[in-house]
Amino acid sequence: MSIIDKVIGAVTPPESDEARAEATAKARAAATPGDWLSLALEHHGQIRAAFEAARAASPGESRVAAMRALATVLNGHSLAEEVVLYPALAKVGEKAHAGMAYTEQTTAKMQMAELERIDPAGEAWGDKLEHIRGAVLHHMFEEEGSWFLELKEKAEDQDFLSRRFSEEYRRYVFGVAESPAAPAAENDLEEVGRNDAGPLQLGDQTRDEADRPAF
Ligand SMILES: [Fe+2]
């Protein structure tokens, strides 16, 4: 067992199924239709279903297909969180929670990369999937039970978060061309972020200033 397996083993859901369902219900009550939270909860439902499909898949090619479907929604969702929601969580003063969220998701990505290299016909594949599932369920419990509620309560730029979270998810899952902020052509990168009409106020910055690389 690798060190990462030990770490992930240690975070395998300490909470009950009932506690997780309660956290989901609480987060749903805080969400409004079309906002980032309702979209994130929708992704979480898809991730749970994708794990169940992978667990039920027959050893071999069916497992590989189920793992790819799981990876698409898991990566799209987690990258959108890492680019949009976790920075916002840090910005409202919850830096420790944001840091933990990044660490847990990076560990899950490393585990998914390991899963890809395990024989899908063998028992080890199922064991690895269970480790990842346990860690991801616990991570979503933390998000739904506290981190997302903090962000919903404290962030002032809710509409901005909803728009950007959706954009980043779509960019990964449906491709760059489907993203509203995508450049028209490969050499048209300067236009990224300038597709909206007029500058958007982000605290003290305008949208144009915020888009400018800081390096
Ligand atoms: Fe999440």
For the stretch 16-60, pLDDT in tens is: 999 999 999 999 999 999 999 999 999 999 999 999 999 999 999
Residues 155-174, mean pLDDT to the nearest whole number: 95
CA of 183 to the centre of ligand 1 (A): 27
Q: Which residues of the chain are in CATH 1.20.120 domains?
A: 3-182
CA of 60 to the centre of ligand 1 (A): 28
CA of 171 to the centre of ligand 1 (A): 17
Does residue 203 register a pLDDT over 80? no
Does residue 106 register a pLDDT over 60? yes
CA of 22 to the centre of ligand 1 (A): 16
Is residue 181 very low, low, confident or very high in pLDDT (cuts 50, 70, 90)? low
Q: What is the second-level CATH architecture of the domain 3-182?
A: Up-down Bundle (1.20)
CA of 188 to the centre of ligand 1 (A): 32
For the stretch 60-73, pLDDT in tens is: 999 999 999 999 99
Residues 6+ apart with CB under 8 A from 122: 59
CA of 99 to the centre of ligand 1 (A): 14
Residues 6+ apart with CB under 8 A from 111: 4, 8, 128, 131, 132, 135
Does residue 195 register a pLDDT over 50? no
CA of 165 to the centre of ligand 1 (A): 11
CA of 78 to the centre of ligand 1 (A): 6
* CA 144 – CA 114 distance, rounded (Å): 27
CA of 140 to the centre of ligand 1 (A): 5
